[in-house]
Chain A
């Protein structure tokens, strides 16, 4: 019995040690960043400012949840930004003519359809997900422009989704929180989640061991489609308009957050917690730069550099791991 307990302790220690090297450097960086901005800006360490940070992150965060699942399974969805834009344009159109509930229904159906389209090409036709979703990225951006004829669609009475604050917490943050918790539990505790790790780690072995990889990947692409539709709706509500350019570059932010958070581009590795920390790092960096009056163009530069940094980190770790073997 005491022996059992011993191994359990050893296991939990192992667990800590195993997760540490993946997220620890990033967490350290985030803490340093926080201290830096706290010292340099009097507005940074403030409840309202942190609300701002997380409201700004919520849209990206919602998409990051299925995004992390896809990355773990060795897949990627680049179409999320354009898809969110189309979602906003559809919402703008339908809400103005038929009301909010019909608008939300249309967006829901749209999310299912676009996810199923991506999933169809990747799992049934067998096209690489990077190429498939690069194609849908371009196509959907075009469609977003077509819907509004290149213009922004103004809309009324739909601010609540993006701006309501039940119990003082902005609704987008609550939505993100709920989805993130579902994501954490799904990845760690369900057969579906564990299968994603197996598929990403070795797709051939997954097939041979009898995991229905195609079904699982298809479902994950559908989730990604739904999340981009929801993200588009939140964004649309915050802007009170459907803007075809509103979510441009969303895919970049999503991938940066996920990779920063320690998910391997080769698949098989990554955690939702890691992604959340990666996301927070991006949010804090963007916010801090604004508070310091750095021109917004620099945000893009910083984000691009972060992505390269994150990928280099991933590659270095991979190389070190193979050496250790």
Chain B
């Protein structure tokens, strides 16, 4: 291939002794779109971060535009025209569209920004992308999809040769997704090579020329996108893991713990009905923005309920906010562990006990010895790896942090536990542990569990039943052995 832009050969990468990439090859031509698929933890992000110079590979060769590089750093990667677009926005919301497009590299004469030149150039770039956004609009007031396009426009002003898009459509509406694809078509014409990471199989045929599938750190399939069937891709992604994914024995109890009727919160979700029995695990499965996380937030009092009712053990349930919900025996584990879950500079024991202080002493006092005992007890049951109960939680691995936060609610003895993306950012091994722990705890304590997730594997391995959601509505219900990856994906897309 004469117009080859990128060639990665035999990339190996280990993190603290554990190999996460086992010799992956990847090539990308000019004007080509390569879709990179794989489950969470398959190594997609690590691979593209190596390409961006963010992570140094343990071994393997990197070749960008014909120049073989022994070592690649972020600065070099930028020089060579590699740009990344992430799911999370990296813009300055208070500045205008034009300023964001030229962020940090504003056209200037002397110390002064030349506004007219900047506006004209910004308009030129947006026109080229056939995007109609006023250049003097404030970025923060635009829709997420529009802001993502602005980031792409920024990449374009900087002589981009290779554009990596890491799940950019997760938060976009259908119209915005279509517009993004149109822009990608435009870039393809201009000879930009693109690596497109996605979870949505339906997008592959629309946007990509070739598909590469990673599984457990190895490349397992590379095919022409037009020839790849959905079944091929799914089985390549799941692989042996699928065979190993044994469905748990379904818990069958008859006492309803929580009953939700006609629940609605503005446009986030509408007319949701379900019942979860004691000891049962119900999954709400859907893409980000489909309303699954929002239901959990509403039940915990973090979001207002505009219609419908909730009954807990047959009694009408209303909440004034998280503190009130927690006092009524409900637990909630947010998806964003750093921002909403953990107390980073505090010890693991404190992080675990924070919800149980009431039971750990009288007259407002807390017996610290009981905190440490509780930690030791759960550390053993949940296989939490730490240096001891006084270790600061932020120094633990993601999986171990999540176990501490789960134990927080187990220790508090809640009747209903709401989990949002409970294994996001958790390595594969710890993930299995966490599923086992949740199921065991639910069974033993009779706790009802509602899991909001966008990961089908999680549903298969964890849930007794699943409601599939799309755009704020339940589109299908699966239970027992019909909870399987293929049906979940088919129902949600």
Contacts and interface: CB of A to CB of B under 8 A. Distances in A.
Contacts of A152: none
Contacts of B325: 210
Interface in A159-203: 188-195, 197-198, 201-202
Contacts of B361: 189, 191
Given A194-B350, A198-B346, A201-B345, A325 B395 contact: yes
A264 interface: yes
B354 interface: yes
Interface stretch (A10-18, A36-44, A83-91, A303-311): A10-18
Nearest to B343: A201
A65 B341 CA distance: 29
Interface in B305-346: 322-327, 332, 334, 339-346
Contacts of A325: 394-395
B377 to A, nearest CB: 12
Contacts of B365: 189-191
B357 interface: yes
Interface in B339-374: 339-346, 350, 354-355, 357-358, 361, 364-366, 368, 372
B390 A201 contact: no
A20 interface: no
Interface string A199-223: 0011011111111100000000000
A268 interface: yes
A7 interface: yes
Nearest to B376: A7
Contact of A208 (B334, B372, B394): B334
A97 B293 CA distance: 64
Contact of B346 (A190, A197, A204, A210): A197
A11 B387 CA distance: 10
A15 B387 CA distance: 12
Contacts of A191: 357-358, 361, 364-366
Contacts of A202: 339-340, 342-344
Most chain A CB within a 10 A radius of its CB, from B354, B361, B389, B391: B354
B225 interface: no
B355 A269 contact: no
A207 B339 contact: no
Given A191-B357, A202-B340, 7 more contacts: A14-B387, A188-B368, A192-B364, A201-B345, A202-B339, A210-B322, A264-B345
Interface of A: 7, 10-11, 14-15, 18, 188-195, 197-198, 201-202, 204-212, 264, 268-269, 324-325
30 contacts: A11-B388, A18-B390, A188-B368, A190-B365, A191-B357, A191-B358, A191-B366, A193-B366, A197-B350, A198-B343, A198-B350, A198-B354, A201-B344, A201-B345, A202-B339, A202-B340, A202-B344, A204-B339, A205-B341, A205-B342, A205-B343, A207-B323, A208-B322, A208-B334, A209-B326, A209-B355, A211-B323, A212-B323, A268-B344, A268-B345
In the A-B complex, list the 3 residue pairs whose CB atoms are closest, starting with the nearest.
Answer: A210-B326, A201-B343, A210-B323
